[in-house]
Chain A
Amino acid sequence: MTQSLFFSLTAAGLFGIAIYSFLVYEHLLRKILALNVMGNAIFLLLIAFARRDSTTVDPVPHAMVLTGIVIAVSATAFALALLQRLHRESGKTRLDNVDDESQQ
């Protein structure tokens, strides 16, 4: 097992944990956190791919991940602004159409 393979398997595990919490939890801030962790996992996967041939490093995934980090922070900022507006208008932090009392 090479270093690249080890880190890409770790990234797959991290992605699994993150997608589980993204789908399971209802609180929107948790969903945004889970999305960010998913993004980090995919970036790790890309960087691990760049090292598959362990002599030379492939720079194209590096550039892709740099772009991805900036876009992830932009999307997170916008999502958080939407969440704060939703909370301000309605007091909720979830997207339910059903009341919480009937959820449990």
Chain B
Amino acid sequence: MSDWVFDGLLGTGLLLLGWQTLISRDLFRSIIWFVVLGLLMTLCWVRLAAPDVALAEAAIGAGVTGALLLNAYRALLIDKPPRHPSSVVARHRQTTAWAVGLAAFSTIVVGGISWALLNLPQAGVDLGTLVRSRLAESGVSNVVTAVLLNFRGYDTLLEVAVLLLALLGVWTVHPKDETFSEASSDFAQNSPLVGALLHLLAPLLVLIGAYLLWIGAYAPGGAFQAGAVLAAFGVMLYLSGRLTPTPTATFSLKLLLIFGPGVFSLIALAVMFWGGALLEYPKDWASLLILAVETGVTISIAVTLVLLVSGSPGLKRTYQ
């Protein structure tokens, strides 16, 4: 009974937060509601027995996306005086006739999905049992990591490439004459508490990242969650002024960026020499290869996410 109350509150909260996110007059408020929606979604996923995904969503979905949205909002405010004074104001929408029509359309979509959900047939193939029966061959004992890095490793390889591609896209779109502004003014850099917090958190975050990477083979965790924790640390360094944007990327930074996709692709191709197909790990080496791939992916994800938030080609230490 208390399960139902809790789940009911979570579901109602999700709908209310989604409504508030999309209906607020003020864009800033919408972004904050969106971050809160992400955190409530994390709770829902823990309730649905998906702790790996919940970890990733809390860090990447709510955290990094929130930072990106707030950065964009600030750029829209201060970059250039908007020609149309209503640029940053919220709710300009289509005419009322269109709005009613679109509302009807959305209601039909929701109705259709709900009808399909209520009449779902029984699952044809039971993938869960299938995965668990072959788990011993995969080299890890966490089912989600096994699916992510062994059984469906091809998807993960392409996903890491997409992340790099998005970063290249952001670099391409950035105007050439732009001088990259620092994230914080002197105002925030001079605050003594931020330095103290960073000193306390730095070793802890690196340790937690390494722990999540290692434990991903046995328990909820893995490369994406570890990369997200390290990215959060990097974003904190950037936002507090400890890392300055630079207009070019150093060679070592570029090496770190391609380390993940590179290691993954090399291993994917190299195992073909042992008589397997692409990404078919030989059974004795599977856990070691998966750990190597995960380490590379963690480093690349962390560096890529920090560069995505800062938007600049490179970052260097601020020496004062």
Chain A contact residues, CB within 8 Å of chain B = 3-10, 12-21, 23-27, 29-30, 32-34, 36-37, 40-41, 43-44, 47-48, 50-53, 56-60, 62-67, 69-78, 80-85, 87-94, 100, 103
Contact = CB atoms under 8 A, between A and B. Distances in A.
B63 to A, nearest CB: 10
Contact of B144 (A6, A63, A70, A73): A63
B175 A24 contact: no
Nearest to B113: A12
Q: Interface size for chain B: under 10, 10 to 19, 20 to 34, or 35 or more residues?
A: 35 or more
A37 B34 contact: yes
A5 B301 CA distance: 34
Given A17-B19, A24-B93, A29 B76 contact: yes
A92 B92 CA distance: 13
B127 A60 contact: yes
Contacts of B38: 40
B224 A27 contact: no
A84 B48 contact: no
6 A-B pairs with the lowest CB-CB distances in the bound complex, closest first: A16-B110, A74-B166, A91-B83, A21-B22, A20-B106, A58-B128
Contacts of A76: 65, 68-69
Most buried by B among A51, A52, A57, A82: A57
Contacts of B34: 33, 36-37
A37 B155 CA distance: 23
A77 to B, nearest CB: 4
Most buried by B among A27, A66, A82: A66
A16 B296 CA distance: 39
